[in-house]
Amino acid sequence: MGIVLGIESSCDETAAALVTTDRRIVAQRIASQDAEHAPFGGVVPEIAARAHADRLAPMVEAVMREGGLELHELDAIAATAGPGLIGGVMVGLVTAKALAMAGEVPLIAVNHLEGHALSPRLADPSLAFPYALLLVSGGHCQILRVEGLGRYRRLATTIDDALGEAFDKTAKILGLGFPGGPAVERLAREGDPRAVPLPRPLVGSGEPHFSFAGLKSAVLRARESGRYRDADIAASFQQAALDCVVDRLALALDAMEPVPALVVAGGVAANRAIRGALEELAEGRGLRFVAPPPALCTDNAAMIAWAGCERIGQSDPLDIAARPRWPLDPGAEPVRGAGYKA
């Protein structure tokens, strides 16, 4: 059995965790920076980097103490090396490099998206490759065929906003604060999902890509019209987003080589309505449905430590660079209309 220290600092969560190769989360700490970013309605990169720099070292100290371990007893130190806000990524990666040197243990530079993509395997030991993955977070919205460690085929991405971003913008329009996803989900429970006519961008189109910018603009117009209750807008938005996801995913599943399981990961995977709809889609196609517990869906260090566990035996050089962009499938065709997106 091996044990890996994981470090996450790519966005607005500072986190450290110890995870074993037999899937035990021995210790973990996570600090959200919601309060610091809330006044700005979104993550401010400079504030995030400074907060990571202040908090990370004591968190690492705390998990090591709780695990009763010295640095040299670790099998590896895994840190997010991208994609993400570069200042924050550098804080985590440089910390991991220093710890790896001090403990004379291998450094593993983890792709944050791979952390999300493999997190369902931490939660569910029986989940084997290959599987279809819907990866939905604040920065990413992709459908992938996960074929093995480091082998990802991207079938779809967003041509504008990510799904989490659409939730966050809807929350902002409704004055629900930041981060918006959980607040929109809560309010949606009190609303009628059919009350507000909203578009389903790209539904029915021949390629399984996503687009949410038009939906967000329609939410804004609905709010400004003054004709609808906020709860009805939230519920109708969530329903429209969910219809898009199910339609796009169904198309992607048709297009990919068959897989036995449908998996969802990333922050938006914490959304119960979306989990329910995906479960139904999977059931209808005779696929297993796997979704990690919500705490493993939003950014955390256990998933980074787990990606390190999956890669145990490998090591990266101490001069490896932090990467603001790092696509899981570098060979994926660029999508017309999309800027360069990881």
Is 138 within any annotated ligand binding site? yes
Segment near Zn ion (CB under 5 A); pick from 22-30, 39-47, 61-69, 297-305: 297-305
Q: Is 142 in the site for ligand KG4 (CB under 6 A)?
A: no
Q: How far is the CB of 48 from Zn ion (least distance, A)?
A: 13
Based on the number of CB atoms within 10 Å of its own CB, is 286 exposed (0-12), middle (13-18) or buried (19 or more)? exposed
Is 116 within any annotated ligand binding site? yes
Q: Is 310 in the site for ligand KG4 (CB under 6 A)?
A: no
Is 181 within any annotated ligand binding site? yes
Is 137 within any annotated ligand binding site? yes
Q: How far is the CB of 266 from Zn ion (least distance, A)?
A: 6
**CA–CA distance, 264 with 136 (Å, rounded to integer):** 8
User: Tokens 């996960």 belong to which residue?
Assistant: 146
Q: How many CA atoms lie within 13 A of 166 on its CB side?
A: 31
Distance of CA 8 to the CA centre of its chain: 12
User: Tokens 């504008």 belong to which residue?
Assistant: 160
Q: Is 212 in the site for ligand KG4 (CB under 6 A)?
A: no
List the single partner that 236 binds among Zn ion, ligand KG4, none, CB under 5 to 8 Å by kind.
none
Segment near Zn ion (CB under 5 A); pick from 20-28, 136-144, 155-163, 276-284: 136-144
Q: Is 137 in the site for Zn ion (CB under 5 A)?
A: yes
Q: Is 168 in the site for ligand KG4 (CB under 6 A)?
A: yes
List the single partner that 185 binds among ligand KG4, Zn ion, none, CB under 5 to 8 Å by kind.
ligand KG4
Among residues 167, 210, 228, 237, the one that binds ligand KG4 under rule CB under 6 A: 167
List the single partner that 33 binds among Zn ion, ligand KG4, none, CB under 5 to 8 Å by kind.
none
Q: How far is the CB of 113 from Zn ion (least distance, A)?
A: 8
Which residues does the annotation place in the binding site for Fe cation? 112, 116, 299
- Residue numbers at the binding site for ligand KG4 (CB under 6 A): 11, 137-139, 164-165, 167-168, 179-182, 185, 266-268, 270-271, 298-299
